[in-house]
């Protein structure tokens, strides 16, 4: 359950006058439950890409525990991410034609960060717990709320110390969105992973222990 330290982070894209994201100092405690919020274009996805190692950090320090992502090349970042982070996206990113269980196992077959038998056992446990009673069902036949729960089971089957979710409830109706929010909070309380959720959902924001508000790539002071 690593803590996150950011120092002097500055991410720029060609054609933009100001940095897309500039964070002089940010510390998140191990096991923190953090909402990341802000208007469209404020830098949420840029933040997620930087702290998950999806994007290379060229200026500044992004350290999870003892690992400074800015110092790792792409292959090492990919390996670190597979072993350390579960990612949940708005549009689930599930593979149609594969069963719920095969979707859960796919990243573990590829990364081998964890023995496959362990990922399978944990995946079965999580799918059962999430009410996905037919793990052999093809994912495209599930409801959207069920699809998101399969995506969460996939993210957690490797027992990561960090879970990062990008708008996990945005494409769900209010009821399924609330259920997914409940699930994320319940699981983080049980397992203690550090949770970062980018969201516009005020109900979910209100239930997190800390709220980071981005505007034009900068963090607003916290209350
Ligand atoms: N690869 C890129 N090249 C140029 N500009 C980019 C690139 N990626 C992001 N930006 C710009 O950086 C800023 C922050 O974008 P980002 O996607 O992080 O915002 P966001 O808060 O996630 O928005 P949304 O809620 O709409 O997803 C925006 O002005 C965006 O246009």
Q: Tell the residue nearest (CA) to atom 17 of ligand 1.
A: 45
Buried b vs exposed e over 133-157: b needs ≥16 C-beta within 10 Å? eebeebbeebeebbbbbbbbbbbbb
Q: Tell the residue nearest (CA) to atom 3 of ligand 1.
A: 13
pLDDT digits (tens, 9 = 90+) for 110-149: 877 778 898 899 999 999 999 999 999 999 999 999 999 9
Q: Is 49 in the pocket of ligand 1 (CB under 6 A)?
A: no
- Structural domain of residue 65, as residue ranges? 4-214
User: Do 76 and 26 touch, CB atoms closer than 8 A?
Assistant: no
Residue 23 counted as domain residue: yes
User: Do 216 and 46 touch, CB atoms closer than 8 A?
Assistant: no
pLDDT band at 162 (very low <50, low <70, confident <90, very high): very high
- Residue 79: burial class (beta carbons within 10 Å; 0-12, 13-18, 19+): middle
Q: Would the pTM count as exceeding 0.90? A: yes
pLDDT digits (tens, 9 = 90+) for 66-87: 999 999 999 999 999 988 999 9
Residue 222 counted as domain residue: no
Q: Is 40 in the pocket of ligand 1 (CB under 6 A)?
A: yes
In this structure, what CATH number is given to the domain that contains residue 114?
3.40.50.300
SS (H, E, C) 7-23: EEEEECCCCCCCCCEEE
User: Do 9 and 61 touch, CB atoms closer than 8 A?
Assistant: yes
């Amino acid at each position: 359950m690593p803590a996150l330290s950011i120092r002097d982070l500055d991410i720029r894209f060609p054609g933009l006058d100001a940095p897309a994201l500039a964070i002089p100092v940010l510390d998140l405690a191990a096991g923190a439950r953090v909402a990341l919020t802000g208007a469209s274009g404020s830098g949420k996805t840029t933040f997620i890409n930087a702290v998950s190692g999806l994007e290379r950090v060229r200026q500044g320090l992004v350290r999870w525990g003892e690992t400074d992502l800015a110092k790792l090349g792409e292959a090492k970042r990919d390996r670190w991410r597979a072993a350390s982070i579960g990612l949940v996206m708005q549009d689930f990113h599930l593979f149609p034609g594969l069963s719920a269980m095969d979707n859960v196992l796919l990243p573990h077959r590829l990364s081998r960060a964890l023995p496959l038998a362990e990922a399978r056992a944990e995946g079965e446990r999580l799918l059962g717990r999430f009410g996905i009673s037919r793990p052999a069902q093809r994912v495209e036949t599930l409801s959207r709320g069920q699809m998101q729960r399969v995506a969460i089971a996939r993210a957690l089957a490797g027992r990561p110390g960090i879970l990062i979710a990008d708008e996990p409830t945005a494409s769900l109706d209010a009821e399924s969105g609330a259920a997914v929010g409940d699930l994320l909070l319940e699981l983080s309380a049980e397992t203690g992973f550090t949770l970062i959720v980018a969201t516009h959902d005020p109900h979910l924001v209100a239930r997190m222990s800390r709220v980071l508000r981005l505007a034009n790539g900068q963090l607003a002071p916290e209350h």
